[in-house]
């Protein structure tokens, strides 16, 4: 009996599984790995929080001034004329005023300084006149203005950052603002990777006739490293059943997930299929997309010695597209990221016509530019799935929906940028 829910895809057209359905299937099937470790705040950058960070304190810890100005008692102020108050001292950030404001009194106050007892309003310095020993406050002030309340940012006892969040610089700052030096994060995901193909040549070797340098291992290494995975690089494996079997067994024993490139296209899949059926449970999909139609997914090995398998196609652009669209979200789920980040797309005006057949989603490579305040996108030129330079030139995918046909210049298309700000 099948342990993986592949039967729920039984109704799919064997020549065209949709991108959305394939992605959803992966996300429904994999579950986060277990295992935590405690790390110092800086080492937590990019890691996935294993437990809520509970705030031990209120932030800010006390009512304080949002501006440089004068702390006053609102009840002292005349609603329709100037009020003259007596200055009794200054409150600095980290150096509170050592007195209580009495009737008719005010204190100079700096941004971040504790609101002195008795005061309930801060008047900005720009509107205040100082005449001899009197401070002149104009009318029109509001009660409680320019005061940051204790606990208005974070409250003691509440979750300041939820488990499942991948920590960015902002979260490191929040953790530090609570005085916390160490947090519990999920262990890193271990991902084994190898390339398959008799034609592949490693760097440093002369290129024989008909051979190509193995570039997929480098793009995959880069994408996995950026994702924060521990990468186990197993090199190049020949198109040979014994070599492939040995590599898959070793990878399954040492990793949570295995990523391979090549060997899943129709011409090659037969021996790979048989072998994978022996070693685990793997489905070979034809996804209605370009590039990246063939892909294998499943589980290799049993129990502790098992790993998820993502068998990506061999073409270098197809590797990157299928990694970003399928493997990356599934790996993020395995890493414990929850909720998964949105993959935002936005509309841009396409600067050139694009040939496209209906029935499959296309991920063309594009370059964004601004024209008269509007985002526009230009395809990078030839879009062959072996042309890796198209990925290197591009800064976005132009995502053309399956039901769409030819695109005319000037039409709106959806784009997905490569870089996230944080």
Nearer to ligand AMP, 64 or 325 (CB): 325
Q: If binding is defined by CB under 5 A, does position 336 make contact with Mg ion?
A: no
CB 330 within 8 A of CB 26: yes
Nearer to ligand AMP, 164 or 294 (CB): 294
SS3 annotation, 36-99:
EEEEEHHHHCCCEECCCEECCCCECCCCEECCCEEEECHHHCCCCCCEEEEEEEEEECCECCCC
Binding site for ligand AMP (CB under 6 A): 195, 197, 199-200, 212, 214-217, 261-263, 265, 268, 313-316, 386
**Measured between alpha carbons, how far is 387 from 54 in angstroms, rounded to an integer?**
49
Q: If binding is defined by CB under 5 A, does position 280 make contact with Mg ion?
A: no
Which sign does the torsion angle of CA 326, 327, 330, 335 carry? negative
Q: Give least dist CB 227 to ligand AMP, A.
A: 19
In this chain, which of 294, 298, 314, 379 binds Mg ion, going by CB under 5 A? 314
Q: How far is CA 300 from CA 247, 248, 259, in A?
A: 11, 7, 11
Q: 283 Cβ partners below 8 Å, 6+ apart?
A: 4, 6, 9, 296, 297, 298
Q: Give least dist CB 313 to ligand AMP, A.
A: 5
Residue 249 CA to its chain's centroid (Å): 31
Q: Give least dist CB 197 to ligand AMP, A.
A: 5
Q: Give least dist CB 276 to Mg ion, A.
A: 15
Nearer to Mg ion, 164 or 262 (CB): 262
Q: Give least dist CB 240 to ligand AMP, A.
A: 13
Q: Is 351 helix (H, G, I), strand (E, B) or coil?
A: coil
Residue nearest to Mg ion (CB): 262
Find which of Mg ion, ligand AMP, none residue 18 binds, CB within 5 to 8 Å per kind.
Answer: none
**Measured between alpha carbons, how far is 160 from 56 in angstroms, rounded to an integer?**
10
Q: Give least dist CB 196 to ligand AMP, A.
A: 6
DSSP string, 1-22: --SS-GGGGTTSBTTBB-HHHH
Find which of Mg ion, ligand AMP, none residue 200 binds, CB within 5 to 8 Å per kind.
Answer: ligand AMP
CB 228 within 8 A of CB 337: no
Find which of Mg ion, ligand AMP, none residue 120 binds, CB within 5 to 8 Å per kind.
Answer: none
Among the residue ranges 39-47, 195-203, 245-253, 279-287, the one whose residues contact Mg ion (CB under 5 A): 195-203
Q: Give least dist CB 207 to ligand AMP, A.
A: 12
Rg from Cα positions in the chain? 30
Q: If binding is defined by CB under 5 A, does position 197 make contact with Mg ion?
A: yes
Q: If binding is defined by CB under 5 A, does position 313 make contact with Mg ion?
A: no
Residue 197: count of CB within 10 angstroms of its CB: 19
Nearer to ligand AMP, 212 or 412 (CB): 212
Q: If binding is defined by CB under 5 A, does position 294 make contact with Mg ion?
A: no
Binding site for Mg ion (CB under 5 A): 197, 262-263, 314
């Amino acid at each position: 009996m099948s342990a993986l829910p592949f039967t729920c895809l039984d109704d799919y057209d064997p020549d065209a599984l949709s991108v959305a359905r394939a992605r959803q299937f992966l996300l429904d099937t994999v579950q986060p790995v277990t295992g935590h470790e405690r790390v110092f705040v800086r080492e937590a950058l990019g890691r996935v929080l294993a437990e809520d960070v509970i705030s031990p304190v209120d932030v800010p810890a006390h009512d304080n001034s949002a501006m440089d100005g004068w702390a006053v008692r609102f009840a002292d102020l005349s609603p329709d004329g100037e009020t003259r108050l007596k200055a009794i001292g200054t409150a600095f950030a980290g150096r509170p005023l050592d007195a209580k404001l009495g009737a008719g009194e005010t204190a100079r106050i700096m941004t971040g300084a504790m609101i002195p007892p008795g005061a309930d309003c801060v008047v900005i310095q720009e509107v205040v006149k100082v005449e001899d020993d009197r401070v002149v406050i104009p009318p029109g002030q509001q009660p409680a203005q320019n005061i940051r309340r204790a606990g208005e940012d974070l409250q003691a006892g509440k979750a300041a950052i939820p488990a499942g969040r991948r920590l960015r610089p902002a979260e490191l700052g929040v953790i530090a603002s609570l005085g916390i030096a160490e947090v519990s994060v999920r262990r890193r995901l271990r991902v084994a990777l190898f390339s398959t193909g008799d034609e592949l040549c490693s760097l440093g070797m002369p290129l024989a006739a008909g051979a190509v340098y193995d570039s997929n291992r480098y793009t995959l290494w880069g994408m996995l490293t950026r994702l924060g995975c521990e990468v186990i690089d197993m090199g190049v494996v020949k198109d040979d059943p014994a070599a492939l079997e040995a590599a898959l067994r070793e990878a399954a024993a040492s990793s949570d997930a295995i990523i391979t490139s090549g060997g899943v296209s129709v011409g090659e899949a037969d021996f790979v299929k048989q072998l994978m059926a022996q070693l685990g449970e793997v489905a070979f999909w034809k996804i209605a997309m370009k590039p990246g139609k063939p892909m294998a997914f499943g589980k290799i090995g049993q129990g502790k010695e098992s790993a998820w398998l993502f068998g990506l196609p061999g073409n270098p652009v197809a590797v990157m597209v299928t990694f970003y669209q399928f493997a990356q979200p599934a790996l993020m789920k395995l890493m414990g990221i929850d909720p998964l980040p949105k993959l935002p797309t936005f509309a841009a005006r396409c600067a050139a016509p694009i040939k496209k057949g209906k029935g499959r989603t296309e991920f063309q490579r594009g370059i964004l530019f601004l024209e008269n305040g509007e985002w526009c996108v230009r395809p990078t030129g030839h879009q062959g799935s072996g042309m890796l330079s198209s990925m290197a030139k591009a800064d976005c995918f132009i995502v053309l929906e399956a039901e769409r046909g030819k695109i005319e210049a000037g039409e709106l298309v959806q784009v997905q940028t490569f870089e996230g700000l944080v």
